[in-house]
Every structure is written in structure tokens, then in C-alpha cells.
Amino acid sequence: MYSSPLDFASDVRLVFENAMLYNPKTDEVHGMAHQLLFYFEMLFRPIQAKLPTNQRVNEFSAVYEFD
């Protein structure tokens, strides 16, 4: 069980970031992970907005790439 929504979000991001890191951009897995990470960020944004300001983090990590 997670102690906070941020801990959960961190693990979700890690899964998708690893899928993108360890699969080439041309691979279907990379593309799906990219899409799912973007979709997760959209859905998590309202939850994150409800957290106290000192608990908010930047939703996009260094691995996330914008098209």
C-alpha cells in the first residue's frame, strides 16, 4: 500500500519510463508507454492539484519526451 498519491504516481511513471528507456523509439512498446504516460499525467493532474503545495512535484521526468 502506498503512503501517498505521489508515491503511487512515482511508480507508475517509473514503469512507463523504463519501457521507453529499454525499448527503441521504433518499437511498439515504446510508443504505447509514451501514450499511456501522457494519459496518466492527464488523469493524475486533478489529483495532484488537490495536494498541498509542498507535496506537488513536476509531473514530467527527464525521460519523458515531447513530440
Q: What confidence tier does 16 reach under pLDDT thresholds 50, 70, 90? A: very high
Q: Please determine, for residue 66, whether its predicted confidence score (pLDDT) is greater than 70.
A: no
What are the φ/ψ torsions at residue 21 (nearest 5 degrees)? Answer: -70, -40
pLDDT value at residue 64: 44
pLDDT tens string 20-60: 999 999 999 999 999 999 999 999 999 999 988 766 555 55
Report, in angstroms and rounded to the nearest whole number, the Rg of the chain calculated over CA atoms: 13
Q: What is the 3-state secondary structure (H, E, C) of 15-33?
A: HHHHHHHCCCCCCHHHHHH
Mean pLDDT for the stretch of residues 1-14? 94
Using the predicted structure, report yes or no on whether residue 61 has a pLDDT greater than 60. no
Give how far Cα 38 sits from Cα of 3, 5, 15, 52, 60, Å: 24, 17, 13, 23, 9
pLDDT at 38: 97
